[in-house]
Amino acid sequence: MSDLITMDDLSNDEILEILDSAERLVPVAKGDVYAPLLQGKVLGNLFFENSTRTRMSFESAMKRLGGEVVNLSSVGSSVAKGETLYDTMQMVDGYSDIAVIRHPRQGAAQYSADAIGIPVLNAGDGAGNHPTQTMLDLFTIRESHGTIDGLNVVLVGDLRYGRTTHSLSHALVRFGAKLTLVSPDSLRMPDEIVSDLKSHGSEVVETEDMAGSIAEADVIYMTRIQKERFPDEDEYTKVAGIYKMTADDLAGAKGGMIVMHPLPRVDEIDPSVDSTKHAKYFEQAFNGVPTRMALLCRSLGVEVPKEVGQ
């Protein structure tokens, strides 16, 4: 039984083992093979903030593995009546075997894990962390490049509030990545994170120039400028739409370079990129299912067999 709150909860070996398990679970995720590894288990899906892919892929992952899902959305529940997170979690502890939580407040996932006994998976806490997204990102990178070691990765957009880039960058430097952080000055990666990244000995470059970072990249990870995280709308207006990638921008890119995005996108990736060999964001979204299957199994102490479905 184990929580996943930040990428620090996983060693490099554990990350690779989970990616291996996820790979074996792909036929189950596609519905080609039925493997009821989590039959009889109940997942409490707690989304205090909007979600499309994360909530659906967790639900799909649990159901494909024969488990059940109970959902809570904060609208119309006791949360809207002013219940504390602590009290809500006590209820979830009684109703399910594992909890997935997304919450607008940073630290909510760790707080929940401290409040209850069942495993808690962090599906995004404010501008904090999003480690299950990172696992599917790493899965996607390994699927394309055959490795997650020593790659040249460019992260673009909202690096200040973007929890996906916070978790992903922490994981990548542990595998020797060279990171280029592309953002407007007001959306720079927080200093404490940059300092943590550099302490791993990796090369970390900060710039506002996306075009100049494309040629050397193995991975370009685009993110949306998140209007909902800005305390001030004027600040949002100043930087909205600042990065827009088109197919033409990728003319000088390496052949194997992949473009990723946690989605949803607004206008930072033009639809002209979708039909290029570089676009990987829709596969990335599917990869949420096998990866989250592997994470659910790990946290519930269920081993993924070497030959799934045999």
- Chain residues that interact with another protein, rule: CB under 8 A: 6, 84-86, 103-108, 110-111, 114-115, 125-129, 192
Nearer of residues 104 and 184 to another protein, judged by Cβ: 104
- Closest distance to another protein from the beta carbon of 36 (Å): 35
- Closest distance to another protein from the beta carbon of 113 (Å): 10
Nearer of residues 69 and 187 to another protein, judged by Cβ: 187
Nearer of residues 34 and 86 to another protein, judged by Cβ: 86
Give the residue from 195, 196, 204, 158 showing the smallest Cα distance to 177.
204
Give the residue from 79, 80, 64, 116 showing the smallest Cα distance to 288.
64
Nearer of residues 108 and 136 to another protein, judged by Cβ: 108
Give the residue from 192, 164, 200, 197 showing the smallest Cα distance to 180.
197
Which residues are 147's β-sheet partners? none
Nearer of residues 171 and 250 to another protein, judged by Cβ: 171
- Closest distance to another protein from the beta carbon of 220 (Å): 27
Nearer of residues 85 and 159 to another protein, judged by Cβ: 85
- Determine how many CB atoms are found less than 10 A away from the CB of residue 94: 10
- Closest distance to another protein from the beta carbon of 279 (Å): 33
**CA torsion angle 135 294 25 174 (round to 10):** 30
CB 49 within 8 A of CB 103: yes
- Closest distance to another protein from the beta carbon of 18 (Å): 22
- 126: which 2 tokens? 């404010």
Q: How far apart are CA 162 and CA 157, in angstroms?
A: 8
Q: From residue 126, give the alpha-carbon distance in Å to each of 92, 224, 278, 290.
A: 21, 15, 30, 25
Give the residue from 49, 50, 58, 136 showing the smallest Cα distance to 96.
58
- Closest distance to another protein from the beta carbon of 118 (Å): 16
